[in-house]
Amino acid sequence: MALNPGIPISDTDISCTSDFAQAVLNAIQSTQQFFLSTQTSAGYWSAYLEADSTLVADYIMLARYIGHESPVLEQKAVRRLLNTQLDDGGWNIYYNGPSELNATVKCAYALQLAGMSSSHEALIRAKDCILRHGGLAKVNSYTRFYMGLFGSYPWKKLVSIPPELMFLPTSFYFNIYEISSWSRAILVPMSIIWSHRPIKTPPPTVDCGSWWLPKNQEANGKNLRNTISWKTFFFTMDAILKRSHRFYSPFTRRESLRRAERWMLEHMSRGGGLAAIYPAMLNSIIALDCLGYDHDHPTFQHALDEFMKLMVEEDDVLWFQPCFSPVWDTAMVTASLERSGMPSDHPAIQRSAEWLINQEIGIRGDWQVKNPYGPASGWVFEFENDFYADTDDSAMVLMALHGSRIPLDARRKASMKRGVEWVLSMQSSDGGWGAFDVDNSKEILNMVPFADHNALLDPSTADVTARILEMLGVFGYDESFSPASRAVSFLRSQQEKDGAWYGRWGVNYIYGTWQVITGLVRIGVSPADPCIQRGVEWLLKHQNSDGGWGETVATYDDPSLRGQGDSTPSQTAWALMGLMYGGAIRQDAVKRGIQYLLENQMPDGSWKEEHFTGTGFPRVFYLRYTFYRNYFPLMALGFYRSLMRL
C-alpha cells in the first residue's frame, strides 16, 4: 500500500547511515518472514489474546455450577490461580498491576469452590487482601451475581435485571438497544438467571463470611438515601424491583422469559457462541440450565463446546482467551506486510485478502435497530459473530483489502464498496463513530446499578473515529467530504488540554494520539495544523531515555500518569507513527525510537512484550494482544523506510 500522507520529505536532511538503513531493511524482512511462517493454511492469522485470571476463576465456577468439573482441568486451573497470586495475597487485572478487589474475590472464591480449605495459606493471604480493599461490600454487581449462584451472596441484595426489560420497545428511552452490544449480550442471559435465582449447593470448603468488614455488613456500600440524583433514582427503582419480584404476573414473567430465550437462541444460532465473547457465552450456558435444557441437548452442548474452545492448556496449567481475534489480526498483519513493502499480489497477501473477503457479514445485525438503512455488510473481530459487525475491524479490513490484489478482483472491489457504505452509515450524530452501534451514548444510563463494569455504553470515540478517517483517506476522500468534515470537528473537540487524545481501545493516550494524528493527516489536515503539532509535542515529551515509549494501564485510574511507563514495542511503534504522520521525521526522537525497535527485535523477527496494551473495559478489563508487539513495529519500520526512501 503506497503511503502518501502529504508529509514533505524530499528535502529531508536526517542522517541515516548505510549500516542503519540496512539494519532497518533487515528488521523488516525478518518480521515479514515471521508472519509468512505463522500464516494458517486457510490464509488468516490468529494470535493468542490474553486477559487476567478472573476468566480461569469463572471457568471453575461454571464447571462446578453445571456439574461438569473435570479433576484434571480443575487442578490445572487451580495451579494457574496459585501461580498468578501476588505477594500481597491478591490478584491483579493487568501485568505488574496492583491487586484488585473483584479479581481477588473471584479467584479466592474459585479456589474454595475447587475444594481448597480457608485455612490454606493462599486463602488466608487472599482474605487479608480482600479486607484491606474494603471487603465483600465493595465488590461490583457481577462478582456478587456469580457468588449468588452458590448462595454466598443473597439474591435479594443483588442488582435487579428483570427479563421484563425485553418488553421495552425500541422507541422507549431505555431499552436493550440503548446499551452497548457486549452489555446487551451479557445482560439478556443474566436476566433469565436473575428471574430463576438458582442456588447450587457449594462444597463445604466455601466459607467467605470472614470476607466482610465488621462495620459494613450490608451489600449496598454507599448510602444514597439523602442525595438527589439520577443514581439515587435508579437505585430506588432497583429496590422496588427487588421487593416486587415475587409479585410479577406469571403470564408477564413467562412471556418475558420466552422473549429473552428467543433473543438469546437467535443470537447463538450462527455459530461462535453468544456474541463470541467469554462473559456472554458463560452466562448463556447458565441461562440455558435455568431454562431446563438438558445438558445433552444440542443447543446446550453447542454453547458449552464453543465456550471450551477458548481454553488454552499448557503443561500443568490452563487459561482462557476472552475471545478469538482472527479478523483483526489478519487485517493488521496484511496491512503491515503491505505497508512494509511486500508486493500487493504476494501469495500470502492474496490468501489473506481472499479470506477477509469471505468474512464479510451478509446479514443485518443488532446495529440495524438504530441504523435501519445501512447495507448488510461489515466485518467482526472473531471467527463467527454475525450479529455484531463493528466499525473498527471493518475500517481495518477495508484498508488491508485496498492494498491487496487478487484474481477476480471484482469481488474485492464490490466487497470494499459495500463495506465503505456500511461504515459511513454507522456515523453518529456527533460526527464520530462508536464501535458497534449508532448514537449509543445516553450517559444517564451509566447511573444504573449494573453499569459498574464501566462499559454500559458504546459512544463515539476518538480512536475509532480516527481509524475510519484514515480509511476514508486511503479510499481517496478528503476533508471536503461532509462525513469526514464532521468527524474532523469531533476529533478536534476531543483533544485534551495537554495535546493528547484518550485511547478507548488501546493503552492509552499514546494509542489515541497516534491514531488521531494519523486519521487527521490521512484525510487531508496539514501536519502543520496546531492541533496536530500539539499532539506531536506531547509524544516527543514522553519519550523514554531508552528511545522507546510506554504507558501504564494505570492511566485509566490516574490520568496524571499519561505517557509514562516501561517502553514497549507496540507503544513505541504507535508513537513513532504518530510523529512521522505529524511531520516529525527530522526529529532525532524518531531515529532513537527506530533504534529501540532494532535493538529489541528477536532473532525470529518478533519482539517480546509482557505489558497489556489493549483495552477491553477501561478500569475493569485489559488485554494482551500477542501480535501487537510484532505488526505495529513492522508498520512503523515500513513507514520509516517509505519516508526515508531506504
Q: Which CATH class is domain 52-320?
A: mainly alpha
Query: Taking the chain (646 residues) in consecutive chunks of 10 residues, what is each chunk's mean pLDDT?
Result: 47 68 98 99 98 99 97 98 99 98 99 98 98 96 96 92 94 95 98 97 96 68 53 61 67 95 97 96 99 98 98 97 99 99 97 98 97 98 98 99 91 97 99 99 88 88 99 98 99 99 98 99 98 99 99 98 99 99 96 99 98 97 99 99 94
Dihedral sign, Cα of residue 513, residue 516, residue 521, residue 526: negative
- One-letter amino acid at 125 equals R
Q: Is 392 a catalytic residue?
A: yes
Choose among 220, 158, 169: nearest CA to 193: 158
Q: Please give the C-alpha separations between residue 35 and each of 89, 328, 338, 398, 631, in angstroms, as whole numbers.
A: 40, 15, 12, 20, 9
Q: What CATH class has 18-49+324-644?
A: mainly alpha
Nearest 5°: CA angle at 150, between 149 and 154?
75
Gap between the Cα atoms of 287 and 303, Å rounded: 11
- DSSP per-residue string spanning 190-205: HHHHHHH---PPPPTT
pTM for the structure as a whole: 0.94
- Show the CA angle centred on residue 236, arms to residues 233 and 241, nearest 5°: 125
Given this chain, do its domains 18-49+324-644 and 52-320 carry the same CATH topology?
Answer: yes
Q: List the 621-625 sheet strands across, edge first.
A: 49-50, 621-625, 614-617
- How many helices (H) does the chain have, and how many strands (E)? 22, 5
* Planar angle of CA 231, 236, 238, nearest 5 degrees: 95
Cell of 323: 475471545
pLDDT at 248: 73
Residue pair 83/110 in contact (Cβ under 8 Å)? The answer is no
All residues at 6 or more sequence positions from 24 whose CB lies less than 8 Å from its CB, including other chains: 594, 598, 637, 640, 641, 644, 646
**What pLDDT, on a 0 to 100 scale, did the predictor assign at position 218?**
46
What letters, b where the CB count within 10 A reaches 16 and e where it falls short, cover 206-232?
bebeebbeeeeeebeeeeeeeeeeebe
How far apart CA 105 and CA 547 sit, in angstroms, is 39
Residues 624, 49 contacting (CB under 8 angstroms): yes
* DSSP label at residue 24: H
- Parallel/antiparallel/unpaired status of strands 311-313 and 318-320: antiparallel
Interior/surface letters 133-151, b for 16+ CB within 10 angstroms, e for the rest = bebbbbbbbbbbbbbbbbe
Q: What is the pLDDT, as a whole number, of residue 15?
A: 61
Interior CA angle at 136 toward 133 and 139, to 5°?
80
CA distance 5 to 529: 14
* Residue ranges per structural domain of the chain: 18-49+324-644, 52-320
* DSSP for 323-389, written as a single string: S--HHHHHHHHHHHHHHTT--TT-HHHHHHHHHHHHT---S--GGGGT-TTS-S--B-SSSS-TT--
Task: Return d(Cα 228, Cα 243) in angstroms, integer.
Answer: 21
Which residue among 289, 329, 392, 430 is the active-site one? 392
589 closest CA partner among 598, 576, 600, 599: 576
Cβ within 8 Å of residue 71, ≥6 positions away: none
Residue 11 pLDDT: 41
Provide the CA 463 distance to its chain's centre, in angstroms. 13
> What is the DSSP secondary structure assignment for residue 76, as one 8-state letter?
H
SS3 276: helix
pLDDT at 167: 95
Kindly state the cell numbers that stand for 396. Answer: 481495518
The three grid cell numbers given for residue 615, joined into one nine-digit string: 483495552
**Cβ contacts of 67-75, under 8 Å, gap ≥ 24:** 67/295, 68/295, 68/304, 73/311, 73/313, 73/318, 74/114, 75/114
Gyration radius of the chain's alpha carbons: 25
Q: Show the 3-state SS of 380-434.
A: CCCCCCCCCCEHHHHHHHHHHHHCCCCCCCHHHHHHHHHHHHHHHHCCCCCCCEC
Residues 6+ apart with CB under 8 A from 122: 82, 85, 89, 108, 111, 116
